[in-house]
């Protein structure tokens, strides 16, 4: 089997997250056997598409798509020559995902089986609350609705607006009270029956992060995620030593080498790679294995598009050191509809194992007829 063409599909609409509109890029790898592999990345399709077309396609065309590790190393070597960064790694991530999809289709097995088989019958999940209910104004109503659907873990970011007020450089007593209020109300109503993760999107400096973490300690959040930017891991070690609350990071670290220092300095208690950003399924599996060697659990970041959602479920199904998988109910119940053949919705509080060979998800024919979709193809 040989790769005959690389196709990029850019959807201009995308979704809205805390930072604003996010767009998706899908990559399809065509072969002379007729099998096609599907991958995805986000959030800057124009940059990622350019890397796929100009740098990665020449490496891939004419090659055996089942040599996933060799292709990954050759792609990485190609982009590492000029210094690898975000767009380059996101492009490799999309291609790698498509190669695993192809491998599963060629073998007639789901990707999680190729990774070593399922470690569980279903996948524990928490809901990231981009929702029709605002966690700032109605946190208890939102938590109750999630609990009624069987989901007993959620993630909120009530300190983000305050960070924008102060630049993340200071926090007043009143601002601290406002930031803590949604968590306080949820815990007052549900106690320990609802886990609440606190997301900070890297907006705070170290003194503020320590102050916030210590103020949150009585409420025992599930974790504190990305309180600082991810560039200075020594600062994260200092933060970790100042609070008993577990730190979770980082969706924004890329490759096993990017996670090495984090694992060695023991700052994080939960490791969070994003398949679309860290280097794909191949690299996420390696990062998880490195975390397992340090007796640390993994909670994959899964807040992008519909193919990432399914790919993350394959990884989560396999990992023996899985803690929990992120999911966004607004995405799989609404945003993904009409784009893919399955949105893999949460059922009875868990994500089911994906079905079918490969990833088990395809773009719908309607996608290719949309006016906001741009399709380009490079042939061997």
Straight-line distance from the first to the last Cα atom of the chain, in angstroms, rounded to the nearest whole number: 14
SS3 49: helix
Top-level class of domain 3-108+364-379: alpha beta
Provide φ and ψ at 49, rounded to 5°. Answer: -65, -40
pLDDT for 16: 61
Q: What is the pLDDT along the chain (380 residues), one digit of tens a residue?
A: 999 999 999 998 766 665 566 789 999 999 999 999 999 999 999 999 999 999 999 999 999 999 999 999 999 999 887 666 789 999 999 999 999 999 999 999 999 999 999 999 999 999 999 889 999 999 999 999 999 999 999 999 999 999 999 999 999 999 999 999 999 999 999 999 999 999 999 999 999 999 999 999 999 999 999 999 988 999 999 999 999 999 999 999 999 999 999 999 999 999 999 999 999 999 999 999 999 999 999 999 999 999 999 999 999 999 999 999 999 999 999 999 999 999 999 999 999 999 999 999 999 999 999 999 999 999 99
Question: Which whole-number Å values give the CA distances from 333 to 110, 167, 324, 327, in the listed order?
Answer: 23, 35, 20, 11
> Do the Cβ atoms of 255 and 275 come closer than 8 Å?
no
Q: 69 exposed, middle or buried (CB, 10 Å; 0-12, 13-18, 19+)?
A: exposed
CB of 290 closer than 8 Å to CB of 299: no
pLDDT at residue 223, as a whole number: 98
DSSP string, 206-236: HHHHHHHHHHHGGG--S-EE--S-TT-HHHH
pLDDT value, residue 14:
62
237/243 Cα distance (integer angstroms): 11
The residue ranges of every structural domain in the chain are: 3-108+364-379, 113-352
Contact criterion met (CB below 8 Å) for 284 and 315:
yes
Those residues whose C-beta lies under 8 Å from the C-beta of residue 191, and which sit 6 or more positions away, are: none
Name the fold adopted by 113-352: TIM Barrel (3.20.20)
Q: Whose CA is closest to 303, among 281, 335, 271?
A: 335
**Given this model, what pLDDT does residue 13 score?**
74
Rounded Cα–Cα distance for residues 36 and 118 (Å) = 24
pLDDT of residue 15: 65
Phi, psi of 44 (to 5 degrees): -125, 75
């Amino acid at each position: 089997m040989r790769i005959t063409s690389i196709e990029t599909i850019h959807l201009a609409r995308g979704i809205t997250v805390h930072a604003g509109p996010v767009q998706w890029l899908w990559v399809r790898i065509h072969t002379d056997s007729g099998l096609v592999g599907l991958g995805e990345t986000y959030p800057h399709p124009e940059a990622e598409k350019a890397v796929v077309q100009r740098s990665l396609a020449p490496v891939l065309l004419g090659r055996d798509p089942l040599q996933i590790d060799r292709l990954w190393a050759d792609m990485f070597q190609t982009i590492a020559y000029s210094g690898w960064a975000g767009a380059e790694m996101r492009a490799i991530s999309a291609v790698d995902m498509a190669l695993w999809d192809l491998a599963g289709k060629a073998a007639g097995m789901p990707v999680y089986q190729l990774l070593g088989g399922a470690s569980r019958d279903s996948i524990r999940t928490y809901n990231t609350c981009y929702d029709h209910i605002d966690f700032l104004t109605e946190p208890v109503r939102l938590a109750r609705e999630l609990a009624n659907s069987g989901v007993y873990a959620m993630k909120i970011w009530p300190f983000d607006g305050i960070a924008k007020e102060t630049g993340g450089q200071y926090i007043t007593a009143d601002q601290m009270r406002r930031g803590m209020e949604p968590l306080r109300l949820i815990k007052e109503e549900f106690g320990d029956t609802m886990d609440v993760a606190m997301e900070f999107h890297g907006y705070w400096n170290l003194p503020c992060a320590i102050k916030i973490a210590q103020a949150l300690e009585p409420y025992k959040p599930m974790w504190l995620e990305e309180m600082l930017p991810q560039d200075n891991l020594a600062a994260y070690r200092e933060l970790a030593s100042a609070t008993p609350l577990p730190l979770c990071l980082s969706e924004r670290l890329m490759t096993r080498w990017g996670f090495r220092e984090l694992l060695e300095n023991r700052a994080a208690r939960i490791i969070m790679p994003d398949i679309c950003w860290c280097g794909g399924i191949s690299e996420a599996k390696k990062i998880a294995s490195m975390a397992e060697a340090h007796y640390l659990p993994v909670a994959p970041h899964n807040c992008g598009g519909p193919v990432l959602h399914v790919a993350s479920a394959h990884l989560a199904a396999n990992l023996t050191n899985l803690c929990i998988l992120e999911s966004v109910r607004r995405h799989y119940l609404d945003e993904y509809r009409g784009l893919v053949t399955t949105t893999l919705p949460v059922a009875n509080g868990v994500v089911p194992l994906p079905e079918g060979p490969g990833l088990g998800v395809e773009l719908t024919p309607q996608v290719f007829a949309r006016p906001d979709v741009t399709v380009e193809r490079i042939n061997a």
